[in-house]
Amino acid sequence: MKLSFFEIREKEEFVMEQTTIAAISTPHAMGGIGIVRLSGPDARAIAARVFIPKSSRKTLKDVPGYTALYGRVQEDGQELDDAIALVFSAPKSYTGEDVVELSCHGGLYLMQRVLRAVLDAGAVPAQAGEFTKRAFLNGKLSLTQAEGVMDLIASQGEQAARAALSARDGALFQRIEQVKQDLLALSGHLSAWIDFPEEDVPELSEQELSGTLCKSAGELEDLLASYDAGQLMKNGVETAIVGRPNVGKSTLMNLLSGREKSIVTDIPGTTRDIVENSVHLGDVILHLYDTAGIRQTDDPVEQAGVQRAKDKIETAQLILALFDSSQELSEEDRELVCSMQGRPCIAVVNKSDLEQKMDFSYLQEHFENLVSISAYQKTGVEQLTECVHRVLGMINLDTSSGILANERQRDCAKRALDALREAKDAHRMGITLDAVGVEVQSALEALMELTGEQASERVIDEVFSKFCVGK
């Protein structure tokens, strides 16, 4: 059963009005500062039972919002630590409720003691993502903004962080909202013309109907087109470094890793198993796999390594195929070239610092993307970085405009687009406007599910279950 935003809020309003939640909001690790956060109608009163201000003239119950008090936290009359209490008053807080944050020294044991004191004073343990869920239910965030908060916490690179920040600030919501408003106006006009013919409602013009459907569908197509690149930016790219022995695979691995991750020798077959490491290359995270040199061998251990390299070629999202420019192309090189056809691959021609003996024309004929580097001299990395971004579709990725962040959002956008395409087909074939109106309404429902305005309770619970406790 799908409930509207207001129906879900009404269902859970009683629980929110009756409970004050608390949790440790900083990582469960030793640190300089630790924070226990409370949110709910009794946040001030509960915090006042465990926090004693240094100044007797001020109390947590009386101070205005956005106030900090210095004092001590206690449990059963026993002082635990110096602390600062930050007070945020409803509705001008993250959750829209009264919020108190108790900041102490960040010891694991100490944080658990402070949390225990707060729970004993009347708070209940917060569930995963419950602070942000309350912000959503109180109208402080849309569902896409809430997911942006989660992605911001989990971001591993600058561009991923920028995308998450834009989502949290409402970029995706505003983009969807514009499409939704256009479709709402269209749906209203269609409904009025169909349902109230006696009112002389002007018929929708061909230009207006087709224009709105095409514009809305185009916007959703652009959103969906950027999804794969956005996911690669967010989650990283499974990247295999492949080539015959001694072309410089391990040296490239070490160069991109910034440390001696792989053993480098002049002996063919040194790398016999896959060596893994995650690195930042510009704005993208590469999950690198340095594979065994691909060649014919009688060594059973090396054979196993070669087979693993071939298996990794089949599953990798990006392949860096290395070639030695100081030598002529071998039969093994040519076999590798053939196996790369139709795969997301960059031909990386190594050892540009040595005398060049390779026929580049053969590689240029078979690879759309080719970069010349010297892994030993550490040159060509900028060109490789640019090429990787181009191959992955990240050159023109505008993270500030709002991009789809996950499969839930993609599914909603895809259903909305499919409905609009059905509406366009119905209109083109001369089917009644009733059918067009039904498909437009289906598109609207999918978009409102995306933003959380019309989402099932199950969907909402699933979104917030992925959050950490304390956020």
Query: Which of 121-135, 312-326, 330-344: highest mean pLDDT?
Result: 121-135
pLDDT, one tens digit per residue, over 416-450 is: 999 999 999 888 887 777 888 899 999 999 999 99
pLDDT band for position 273 (50/70/90)?
very low
Terminal CA-to-CA distance of the chain, rounded, Å? 27
**Across 255-267, average pLDDT:** 56
pLDDT band for position 263 (50/70/90)?
very low
Cβ atoms 216, 179 nearer than 8 A = yes
- Given the DSSP bridges, would you call strands 345-350 and 51-53 parallel, antiparallel or unpaired? unpaired
3-state secondary structure of 470: coil
Q: Which two tokens stand for residue 277?
A: 């490491």
Sorted by sequence, the CB contacts under 8 Å of residue 69 that are 6+ apart come out as 51, 53, 54, 55, 58, 60, 63, 84, 85, 87
pLDDT, one tens digit per residue, over 354-370 is: 888 888 888 899 989 99
What predicted TM-score, i.e. pTM, was given to this entire model? 0.77
For tokens 């016999």, name the residue.
272
Model pLDDT, residue 450: 92
Other CB atoms within 10 A of residue 153 CB? 12
pLDDT, mean over the chain = 83
**Across 118-144, average pLDDT:** 92
Q: Is the pLDDT of residue 13 over 60?
A: no
**Across 300-310, average pLDDT:** 53
Model pLDDT, residue 12: 57
Domains present along the chain, CATH in parentheses: 2-142 (3.30.1360.120), 149-226+402-451 (1.20.120.430), 233-391 (3.40.50.300)
Q: Assign residue 243 a region: left if phi > 0, alpha if psi is -120 to 50, beta otherwise?
A: left
Q: Is the pLDDT of residue 2 over 60?
A: no
Q: Which residue has the higher pLDDT, 403 or 154?
A: 403
Q: Is the pLDDT of residue 170 over 70?
A: yes
Q: Which residue has the higher pLDDT, 358 or 395?
A: 358
**Across 324-345, average pLDDT:** 86
Ranges of beta strands (E only) in 268-362 are 275-281, 284-290, 318-324, 345-350
pLDDT band for position 6 (50/70/90)?
low
pLDDT, one tens digit per residue, over 67-123 is: 999 999 999 889 999 999 999 999 999 999 999 999 999 889 999 999 999 999 999
Q: Which two tokens stand for residue 193?
A: 């013309």
Please tell me what DSSP assigns to residue 260. Answer: -
pLDDT, one tens digit per residue, over 24-57 is: 999 888 889 999 999 999 999 999 999 999 987 8
pLDDT band for position 408 (50/70/90)?
very high
